């Protein structure tokens, strides 16, 4: 298992717990880079702890048992362990590099992944299946990864034409949250090989680790199709979210409740039941970039013209959605937000997940700080926020809300919302503004807040009592 991050940790744990007739199917070695971060992950695994945190108690127990009791899960920093493997699974992080606010200048640093594939080719035995789970640009497998794998085979003094490496792409669909661990093998998976032999090997492998009776496998015709499938899956969801933003603005201006409207439409099962509700925006590692991986791969790897206006526009719309809070705050307080205390409730990108990467809260925090505001935050799952080091993390909702001029409910988290409701009566200053981006507390709190001179605004609602009041 190359890469012990969010996906690699769950996949390694699942492989280690796979059993047949009471016996473990796999001996799993988690291979990390020989640097400080990689060494820390390897040490954690060796001590029976998950290298990556997840809000799923079963993960820690599976890792502990496999590492310390069963003895079929360990870690290494030495790439020579690849030579022991029948199957090499890669879960290497791959970033999209771009400046916010534009989708034209893009870069995907694939050389690191290509280097890993050359190492695998040089170390792996003939017949070893290399199974890639990372999200890739279209064309990466056949244009970059497979040629690099063959280079590694040649570097080891072997002929890749006579010993054709087996390379398959079967992207992950790991779902963060309490069901994180089971989402690896209790969910639909798709796959494709660089050739028929690779596809067959991937089918054999996945059939051992996925509950295929309830979640049949889907075989794509080639790796490009599988790569595009992953990207389209996430681009579709991101575009759906972006679409609802303009309707949220219309509903606010028209004085209606878009949440109520969407629920009335969702009764049309099979055609409209996946319509999104209004919210602060899109976060996480996938939906914020995957449409642009398709653009970059099409243009840079395949030499195609890929304008893709809807997908590009969706990325930019979603990126701007959290900034609507600043417009609401300026309507209430005036153009300058200097010296205002702003409390953000929730800093992860979704409830019950301790992942802060690319969260809408991060976008909002940086914008508020640039506007001169002081930003504090509270999230029950987060004690450190590396992407926003200038934000003070409070130990409770009450501490965050005390003395706040602006309060923003950044996540649709029911438990956190109850904490906020309890702290509201003596929390924000008189004249403050509460932005309920997910319609969590407004119906219960807006009238009471209005009596204290505190305004309430809700994304997608223009019917909230006191929402159009300003000083």
For position 426, what pLDDT does the model report?
Answer: 85
Residues 44, 187, single domain; the answer is yes
What is the sign of the dihedral through the CA atoms of 272, 277, 280 and 284?
Answer: negative
Domain membership flag for residue 1: no
| Mean predicted lDDT score pLDDT of the chain | 94
Domain membership flag for residue 470: no
pLDDT value at 293 more than 50: yes
Residues 187, 55, single domain; the answer is yes
Domain that holds residue 449: 322-458
Half-sphere exposure of 229 (CA within 13 A, CB side): 21
At 87-128, the pLDDT tens digits run: 999 999 899 999 999 999 999 999 999 999 999 999 999 999
Residues 65, 129, single domain; the answer is yes
Determine the Cα–Cα distance for residues 329 and 340; give it in Å rounded to an integer.
Answer: 10
Residues 313, 336, single domain; the answer is no
Domain membership flag for residue 463: no
Of 56, 80, 63, 57, which is closest to residue 28 (Cα–Cα)?
63
Residues 212, 277, single domain; the answer is no
Residues 335, 273, single domain; the answer is no
Domain membership flag for residue 393: yes
For position 280, what pLDDT does the model report?
Answer: 95
For position 465, what pLDDT does the model report?
Answer: 65
Return the number of other C-beta atoms located less than 10 Å from residue 430's C-beta: 7
pLDDT value at 469 more than 60: no
Residues 128, 13, single domain; the answer is yes
At 130-167, the pLDDT tens digits run: 999 999 999 999 999 999 999 999 999 999 999 999 99
Is the Cβ–Cβ distance between 163 and 149 less than 8 Å?
no
Q: Of 221, 242, 266, at which residue does a domain stop?
A: 221
Domain membership flag for residue 210: yes
Residues 139, 168, single domain; the answer is yes
Residues 402, 415, single domain; the answer is yes
Domain membership flag for residue 469: no
Q: Of 192, 221, 250, at which residue does a domain stop?
A: 221
At 11-34, the pLDDT tens digits run: 999 999 999 888 999 999 999 999
* Average pLDDT of the residues in 329-358: 93
Determine the Cα–Cα distance for residues 225 and 13; give it in Å rounded to an integer.
Answer: 28
CATH number at residue 290: 1.10.1040.10
pLDDT value at 470 more than 60: no
Of 464, 463, 459, 437, which is closest to residue 448 (Cα–Cα)?
464
Determine the Cα–Cα distance for residues 262 and 283; give it in Å rounded to an integer.
Answer: 21
Determine the Cα–Cα distance for residues 459 and 416; give it in Å rounded to an integer.
Answer: 18
Residues 30, 93, single domain; the answer is yes
Is the Cβ–Cβ distance between 285 and 176 less than 8 Å?
no
* Average pLDDT of the residues in 250-263: 97
Number of folded domains that form the chain: 3
pLDDT value at 183 more than 50: yes
pLDDT band at 52 (very low <50, low <70, confident <90, very high): confident
Q: What is the CA radius of gyration of the chain?
A: 24
Return the number of other C-beta atoms located less than 10 Å from residue 303's C-beta: 8
Domain membership flag for residue 146: yes
CATH number at residue 427: 3.40.50.720
∠ CA(179), CA(180), CA(186), 5° rounding?
70
pLDDT value at 54 more than 90: no
288 three-state secondary structure: coil
Residues 250, 137, single domain; the answer is no
Q: Of 319, 346, 364, at which residue does a domain stop?
A: 319
Whole-prediction pTM: 0.92
pLDDT band at 466 (very low <50, low <70, confident <90, very high): low
DSSP, res 145: I
Percent of the chain at pLDDT > 70 equals 99
Kindly give, in sequence order, each residue whose CB lies less than 8 Å from that of residue 246, ignoring residues fewer than 6 positions away: none
Of 141, 154, 179, which is closest to residue 352 (Cα–Cα)?
179
Domain membership flag for residue 68: yes
Residues 238, 199, single domain; the answer is no
For position 283, what pLDDT does the model report?
Answer: 85
Return the number of other C-beta atoms located less than 10 Å from residue 426's C-beta: 10
Which residue matches tokens 């997608």? 460
Kindly give, in sequence order, each residue whose CB lies less than 8 Å from that of residue 440, ignoring residues fewer than 6 positions away: 409, 412, 413, 414, 417, 420
């Amino acid at each position: 298992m190359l890469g012990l991050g969010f996906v690699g940790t769950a996949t390694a744990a699942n492989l280690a717990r796979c059993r047949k007739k009471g016996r473990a199917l796999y001996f799993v070695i988690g291979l990390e880079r020989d640097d400080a971060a990689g060494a820390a992950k390897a040490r954690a695994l060796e001590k029976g702890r998950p290298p990556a945190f997840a809000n799923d108690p079963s993960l820690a127990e599976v890792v502990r048992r496999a590492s310390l009791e069963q003895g079929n899960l360990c870690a290494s920093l030495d790439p020579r362990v690849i030579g022991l493997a029948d199957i090499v699974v890669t879960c290497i992080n791959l970033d999209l590099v771009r400046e916010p606010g534009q989708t034209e200048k893009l870069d995907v640093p694939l050389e690191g992944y290509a280097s890993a594939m050359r190492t695998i080719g040089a170390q792996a035995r003939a017949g070893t299946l290399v199974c890639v789970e990372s999200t890739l640009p279209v064309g990466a497998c056949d244009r970059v990864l497979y040629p690099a794998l063959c280079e590694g085979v040649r570097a080891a003094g072997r002929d890749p034409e006579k010993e054709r490496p087996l390379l398959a792409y079967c992207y992950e669909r790991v779902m963060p949250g309490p069901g994180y661990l089971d989402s690896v093998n209790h969910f639909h998976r798709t796959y494709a090989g660089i050739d028929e032999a690779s596809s067959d090997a991937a089918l054999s492998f996945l059939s051992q680790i996925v509950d295929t009776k309830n979640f049949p496998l889907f075989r794509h015709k080639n790796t490009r199709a599988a790569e595009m499938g992953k990207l389209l899956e996430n681009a579709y969801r991101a575009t759906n979210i972006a679409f609802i933003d303009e309707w949220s603005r219309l509903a606010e201006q028209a004085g209606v409740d878009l949440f109520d409207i969407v629920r009335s439409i969702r009764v049309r099962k099979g055609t409209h039941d996946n319509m999104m509700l209004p919210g602060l925006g899109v976060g996480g590692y996938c939906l914020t970039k995957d449409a642009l991986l398709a653009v970059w791969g099409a243009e840079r790897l395949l030499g195609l013209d890929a304008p893709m206006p809807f997908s590009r526009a969706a990325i930019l719309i979603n990126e701007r959605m959290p900034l609507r809070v600043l417009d609401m705050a300026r309507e209430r307080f005036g153009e300058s937000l200097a010296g205002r205390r702003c409390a953000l409730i929730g800093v992860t990108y979704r409830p019950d997940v301790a992942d802060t990467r690319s969260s809408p809260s991060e976008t909002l925090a940086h914008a508020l700080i640039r506007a001169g505001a002081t930003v504090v935050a509270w999230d029950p799952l987060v004690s450190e926020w590396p992407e926003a080091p200038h934000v003070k993390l409070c130990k409770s909702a009450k501490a965050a809300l005390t003395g706040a001029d602006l309060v923003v409910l950044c996540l649709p988290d029911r438990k956190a919302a109850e904490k906020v409701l309890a702290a509201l009566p003596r929390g924000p200053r008189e004249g403050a503004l509460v932005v309920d981006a997910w319609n969590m507390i407004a119906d219960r709190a807006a009238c009471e807040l209005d009596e204290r001179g505190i305004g309430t605004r809700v994304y997608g609602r223009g019917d909230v009592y006191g929402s159009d009041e300003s000083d």
